């Protein structure tokens, strides 16, 4: 267990009692050190698995930690988010502490906030509602009551999205409405648990008897409320091990603060403090850029930074690419991804990371057009899908029936049993052709099969019942199995993860830093976000930006200031626009685009900004003048093509592109190629067919007459 650690990491693993603090940069093996520490303690008989609570901040990270612990033979250890650990305790102790059933947990606040605002006679649009909801969440995790909100905001560096007095009023009414309707929200789970632990010494004692050792990953992101809960769990003991990197603080806007990490030694003068500087994740080229980024950082976190030293062999230099417009950037990115996959990099080892989720659409489209499988990191929804729920019921039934289930052969291994059960739900060994709901359903079932395979590998002798228990656990933590596709994720969602190849896209001023980062502190947090992105890459790192939003638009954008002096051709101060030189590729895909004015809606004339709308060349909710019969013929033809090519239908053309074709009814190559999604290669391959269909034929592929 200790062999896989370097001397400093080993020091962490061996310090099994008393406070321990690991301050270290990205990729230095913090997560590895704490999982090995726990596993070592358990194997050596020093830690009781059930007495250890490992906490982190996202379901995904908790799931990863559980997986790593299980592989190291410490599967009995609880690895949870603060929220899920608190929720379990709250559910368990509610009858004793309060009596009756625990109130229902509100899934989403926004409706209730809207109701509260309406009662205050304050009109808020959707975006304002979201912002006000964010303020209420911030107030709650910083333990600010409604009456104190205006003063707290004034003292902090945040900009309130509205008059703080109004927000305070909405917040107060929101709390009232929750009480009236007997619901609690996400933050209440922590607040109520804290309340119970404070008031009820008997319950606090019971929890403290159960948990003796606490480990916190990504500790730089702890909020005051989470810290309070952690203090209550600990009581007067100090068996606490925290690891973090102040330079990766990216959740300040939600109330998180690296102060607890940076002040750990003040609070615990006897703490073992370990610093790690060897970077095992990334090549010297990637690490050089990461160090360069941080060398320009300012503020408290930056004062504590450590220069990382790569332990890996040299790799390619990071690639910096400037594109003419966003669709060109997405197409160029998709093309490079396809090349990497062709060169043998598994799609699951590639990620495209962006600043905000709304940027994903254009990349989804481009990857679909390029025939590259991808997954969004919205993994939470997996277990809520209908087919997954149905599959769960079938597996549970089979597990319960055990040897009596006619489907199952006891001699079969677990994955075969799972395949047998899921084949009654539509799983087949080969994916169905085409895209759409059938394919989606199959993908979900295939993901479950893969999950069973991984599970059986990690836990030999596992039974169907074990698997069902695992699925329940994952569903509770909403941790989806990995699918073998390129990951599309926001930078925030990428923390703690790593890929062989990482594409950081949309790196323009306005997006990075994001326009609403105004104060120096907010801008510094954006720089840290880019640092998090850069340090996700093991080997290939690509950074790109587009000079305009839409094809033919004005090239008014500038690359991010954070790369100034770091990327070739950026000079030093003041020459942000000097991007064209020094190895910067310019407008790869943009080259073949004819310059055009802004794309206007064909129906209402509005300027289009959304990728989907640009593809259709009309606002998505403007009435369609599509030739429905033509669209159907195109779809039939596409299904046929997809079958012949043994590829999903969207690899031929996406639905949006087919719709655009059926709306425009092109008669020439030129007209067809002006439709977004019809590139040179597709024009060569499918152009003649499509034009024939548009002219009333059947594309020459069908044998039978219509």
Interacting positions 534-573 with ligand ATP (CB under 6 A): 535
Burial class (CB in 10 A: 0-12, 13-18, 19+), 104: exposed
Give the count of beta carbons closer than 10 Å to the beta carbon of residue 385. 16
Residue 40-79 contact track with ligand ATP, rule CB under 6 A, x = bound: ----------------------------------------
Per-residue CA distances from 699 to 588, 628, 678, 702 (Å)? 32, 17, 17, 7
Residues numbered 488 to 527 that lie near Mg ion (CB under 5 A) are 496
Q: Which is nearer to ligand ATP, 531 or 637 (CB)?
A: 531
Q: Which is nearer to Mg ion, 168 or 249 (CB)?
A: 249
Which 8-state DSSP code applies to residue 623?
A: P
Scanning residues 633 to 692, which ones bind ligand ATP (CB under 6 A)? none
The C-alpha torsion from 480 through 484 and 490 to 494, rounded to 10°, is 70
Shortest distance (Å) from residue 222 CB to ligand ATP? 15
Select the binding partner of residue 664 from ligand ATP, Mg ion, none (C-beta < 5 to 8 A, by kind).
none
Q: Which helix (H) or strand (E) holds 243?
A: strand 240-244
Q: Judged by CB, which is closer to Mg ion: 332, or 496?
A: 496
Residues 137, 144: Cα–Cα separation, whole Å:
10
Of residues 178 and 281, the one with the C-beta less far from ligand ATP: 281
Least distance in Å: CB of 351 to Mg ion? 16
Interface with ligand ATP by CB under 6 A: which range of 21-29, 161-169, 300-308, 592-600? 21-29
12-41 positions binding Mg ion, by CB under 5 A? 30-31
The verdict on 252 binding Mg ion (CB under 5 A) reads: no
The entry of ligand ATP, Mg ion, none that residue 5 binds, CB within 5 to 8 Å by partner kind: ligand ATP
Comparing CB distances to ligand ATP, the nearer of 446 and 494 is 494
Residue 30 or 213: the one with the smaller Cβ distance to Mg ion is 30
Q: Extract the tokens encoding 578.
A: 């000097």
Selected range binding ligand ATP among 20-28, 344-352, 366-374, 420-428, rule: CB under 6 A: 20-28
- Please, what is the minimum distance in Å from the beta carbon of residue 493 to Mg ion? 14
Residue 80 as a binder of ligand ATP (CB under 6 A): the answer is: no
Stretch that binds ligand ATP, among 25-33, 379-387, 559-567, 591-599 (CB under 6 A): 25-33
32 binds ligand ATP (CB under 6 A): yes
- For ligand ATP, what does the binding mask look like between residues 222 and 261, x meaning CB under 6 A? -----------------------x--x-------------
In the complex, minimum distance from the CB of residue 469 to ligand ATP, in angstroms, rounded to a whole number: 27
Is the Cβ–Cβ distance between 514 and 265 less than 8 Å? Answer: no
Count of other CB atoms within 10 angstroms of residue 78: 20
CA distances (Å), origin 227, targets 51, 192, 243, 316, 449? 19, 14, 14, 41, 39
Q: State which residue, 31 or 333, has the beta carbon closest to ligand ATP.
A: 31
356 phi and psi angles, rounded to 5 deg: -130, 150
Nearer to ligand ATP, 41 or 161 (CB): 41
Report which DSSP code applies to 484: S
Count how many Cα atoms sit within 13 Å of the Cα of residue 704 in the half-sphere of its side chain.
Answer: 3
Check binding of 56 to Mg ion (CB under 5 A): no
Q: Which of 83, 281, 474, 479 binds ligand ATP (CB under 6 A)?
A: 281
Residue number with CB closer to ligand ATP (186 or 280):
280
Alpha-carbon distances, residue 417 vs 214, 383, 441 (angstroms): 38, 20, 19
Q: For residue 121, give every residue at least 6 positions away whose Cβ sits within 8 Å of its Cβ, in sequence order, or none.
A: none
Measured from the CB atom, the residue of 4 and 582 that comes closer to ligand ATP is 4
When binding is defined by CB under 6 A, the residue of 41, 255, 496, 590 that contacts ligand ATP is 496
Which residue number has the CB closest to Mg ion? Answer: 31
Query: Looking at 359-402, which runs of residues are DSSP E strands?
Result: 374-376
**Binding status of residue 493 toward ligand ATP by CB under 6 A:** no
| Shortest spacing between CB 498 and ligand ATP, in angstroms | 6
Determine the interface stretch with ligand ATP among 23-31, 116-124, 583-591, 635-643 (rule: CB under 6 A): 23-31
Residue 247 touches which of ligand ATP, Mg ion, none (Cβ within 5-8 Å per kind): none
Q: Which of 13, 30, 55, 513 binds ligand ATP (CB under 6 A)?
A: 30
Angle in degrees, CA 180, 185, 190, rounded to 5: 120
Which position's Cβ is nearest ligand ATP? 29
Among the residue ranges 22-30, 182-190, 385-393, 653-661, the one whose residues contact ligand ATP (CB under 6 A): 22-30
Contact call for residues 282 and 538 (beta carbons, < 8 A): yes
Polymer length of the chain: 706
Site string for ligand ATP, 86-125 (x = CB under 6 A): ----------------------------------------
Q: What one-character DSSP code corresponds to residue 223?
A: -
Of 29, 41, 587, 677, the residue at the interface with ligand ATP (CB under 6 A) is: 29
360 counts as binding ligand ATP under rule CB under 6 A: no
Enter the tokens of residue 183.
């619901």
Q: Which does 29 bind (CB under 5 to 8 A by kind): ligand ATP, Mg ion, none?
A: ligand ATP
What value does the CA radius of gyration of the chain take, rounded to a whole number of Å? 27
Looking at the DSSP bridge assignments, the partners of residue 559 are 508
- Does 28 help bind ligand ATP (rule: CB under 6 A)? yes
* Core vs surface per residue 430-463: b (16+ CB within 10 A) or e: eeebbbeeebebbbbbbbbbbbbbebbeebeebe
Residue recorded with tokens 């990728």: 611
Pairwise CA distance, residues 228 & 242, whole Å: 15
Q: Is 605 left (phi over 0), alpha (psi -120 to 50) or beta?
A: left
Residue closest to 444 by CA, chosen among 404, 417, 471, 462: 471
Q: Whole-number minimum distance, CB 5 to ligand ATP, in Å? A: 5
Q: What are the tokens at 407? A: 């489907």
Stretch of 4-12, 72-80, 588-596, 659-667 contacting ligand ATP, by CB under 6 A: 4-12
Q: Distance between CA atoms of 386 and 671, rounded to whole angstroms?
A: 41
Rounded distance between C-alpha atoms, residue 538 and residue 314, angstroms: 11
Q: Which residues bind Mg ion (CB under 5 A)?
A: 30-31, 496
Q: Which residues bind ligand ATP (CB under 6 A)?
A: 4-6, 9, 24, 26-32, 245, 248, 280-281, 496, 498, 535
């Amino acid at each position: 267990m200790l062999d896989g650690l370097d001397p400093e990491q080993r020091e962490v693993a061996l310090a099994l009692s008393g406070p321990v603090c690991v301050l270290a940069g990205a990729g230095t093996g913090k997560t590895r050190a704490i999982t090995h520490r726990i596993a070592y303690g358990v194997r050596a008989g020093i830690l009781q698995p059930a007495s250890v609570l490992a906490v982190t901040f996202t379901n995904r990270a908790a799931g990863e930690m559980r997986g790593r612990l299980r592989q190291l033979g410490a599967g009995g250890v609880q690895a949870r988010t603060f929220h899920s650990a608190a929720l379990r305790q709250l559910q368990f102790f509610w009858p004793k502490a309060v009596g009756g059933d625990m109130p229902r947990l509100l899934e989403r606040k926004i409706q209730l906030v809207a109701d509260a605002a309406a009662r205050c006679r304050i009109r808020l649009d959707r975006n304002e509602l979201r912002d006000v909801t964010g303020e209420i969440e911030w107030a709650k995790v910083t333990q600010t009551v409604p009456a104190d909100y205006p003063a707290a905001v004034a003292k902090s560096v945040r900009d309130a999205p509205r008059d703080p007095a109004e927000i305070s009023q909405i917040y107060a009414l929101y709390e009232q409405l929750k009480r009236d309707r007997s619901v609690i929200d996400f933050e209440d789970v922590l607040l109520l648990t804290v309340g119970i632990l404070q008031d009820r010494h008997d319950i606090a004692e019971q929890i403290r008897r159960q948990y003796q050792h606490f480990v916190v990953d990504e500790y730089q992101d702890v909020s005051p409320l989470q810290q309070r809960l952690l203090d209550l769990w600990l009581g007067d003991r100090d068996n606490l091990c925290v690891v973090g990197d102040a330079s990766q603080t990216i959740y300040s806007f939600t109330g998180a603060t690296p102060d607890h990490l940076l002040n750990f030694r003040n609070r615990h003068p006897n703490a073992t403090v370990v610093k790690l500087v060897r970077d095992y994740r990334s090549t010297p080229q990637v690490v050089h850029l990461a160090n360069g980024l941080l060398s320009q950082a300012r503020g408290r976190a930056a004062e504590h930074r450590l220069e990382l030293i790569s332990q890996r062999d040299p790799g390619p230099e990071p690639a910096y690419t400037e594109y003419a417009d966003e669709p060109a950037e997405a197409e160029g990115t998709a093309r490079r991804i396809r090349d990497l996959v062709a060169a043998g990099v598994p799609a699951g080892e590639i990620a495209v990371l962006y600043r905000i989720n709304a940027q994903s659409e254009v990349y989804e489209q481009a990857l679909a057009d390029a025939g590259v499988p991808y997954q969004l990191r919205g993994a939470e929804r997996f277990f809520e899908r209908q087919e997954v729920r149905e599959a769960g019921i079938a597996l549970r039934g089979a597990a319960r029936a055990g040897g009596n289930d006619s489907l199952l052969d006891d001699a079969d291994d677990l994955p075969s049993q799972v395949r047998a059960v899921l084949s009654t739900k539509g799983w087949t060994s080969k994916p169905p052709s085409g895209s759409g709901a059938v394919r989606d359903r199959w993908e979900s079932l295939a993901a479950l099969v893969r999950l069973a395979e991984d599970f059986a590998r990690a836990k030999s002798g596992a039974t169907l019942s074990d698997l069902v228990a695992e699925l329940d656990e994952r569903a509770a933590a909403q941790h989806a199995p990995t699918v073998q596709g390129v990951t599309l994720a926001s930078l925030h969602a990428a923390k703690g993860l790593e890929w062989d190849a990482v594409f950081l896209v949309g790196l323009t001023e306005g997006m990075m830093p994001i326009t609403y980062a105004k104060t120096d502190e907010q801008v510094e947090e954006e720089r840290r976000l880019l640092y998090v992105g850069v340090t996700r890459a093991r080997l290939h790192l690509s950074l790109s930006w587009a000079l305009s939003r839409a094809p033919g638009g004005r090239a008014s954008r500038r690359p991010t200031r954070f790369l100034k002096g770091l990327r070739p051709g950026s000079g030093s101060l003041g020459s942000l626009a000097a991007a064209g030189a020094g190895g910067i590729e310019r407008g790869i895909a943009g080259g073949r685009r004819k310059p055009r004015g802004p794309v206007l809606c064909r129906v209402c004339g509005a300027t289009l900004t959304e990728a989907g709308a640009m593809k259709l060349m009309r606002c998505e909710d403007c009435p369609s003048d599509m030739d429905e019969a033509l669209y159907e013929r195109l779809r039939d033809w596409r299904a046929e093509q997809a079958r012949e090519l043994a590829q999903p239908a969207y690899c031929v053309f996406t639905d949006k592109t087919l719709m655009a074709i059926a709306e425009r009814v092109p008669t020439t190559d030129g007209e067809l190629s002006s439709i977004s999604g019809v590139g040179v290669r597709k024009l060569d391959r499918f152009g003649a067919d499509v034009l024939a269909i548009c002219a009333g034929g059947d594309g020459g592929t069908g044998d039978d007459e219509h």
